[in-house]
Amino acid sequence: MCTKPFVRTLEFLWQEGHTAHATPEEAEKEALQMINIYEKFAYDHSNNVFFDCYQRVYMRTDESGQRQLVWQTYLCL
């Protein structure tokens, strides 16, 4: 019996990123930086960059040991 390779040629591929930040300013700065990187990487398809700045959903422990909600971003190309 001969095995056949499983090659995914008909699917599309994307890249996405999720980040968490202490302030909305940090979240926005990171998102804009990633959008610029995406545009350099795939300029012809840069209109397909999706960005969403989630409000405060998840928590982390801050420098003082208190649990704080974080600002999240989601980017997809």
Does pTM top 0.75 for this prediction? Answer: no
Q: What is the mean pLDDT of residues 31-51?
A: 70
For tokens 């801050």, name the residue.
62
Mean of per-residue pLDDT scores for the chain: 74
pLDDT value at 69 more than 60: yes
Q: What is the mean pLDDT of residues 51-58?
A: 63
Residue 51: the pLDDT is 59
Residue 45: the pLDDT is 56
Q: What is the pLDDT of residues 10-31, one digit of tens each?
A: 666 666 778 888 888 888 898 8
Phi first, then psi: give them for residue 43, nearest 5 degrees.
-55, -45
First CA to last CA distance, the chain: 40
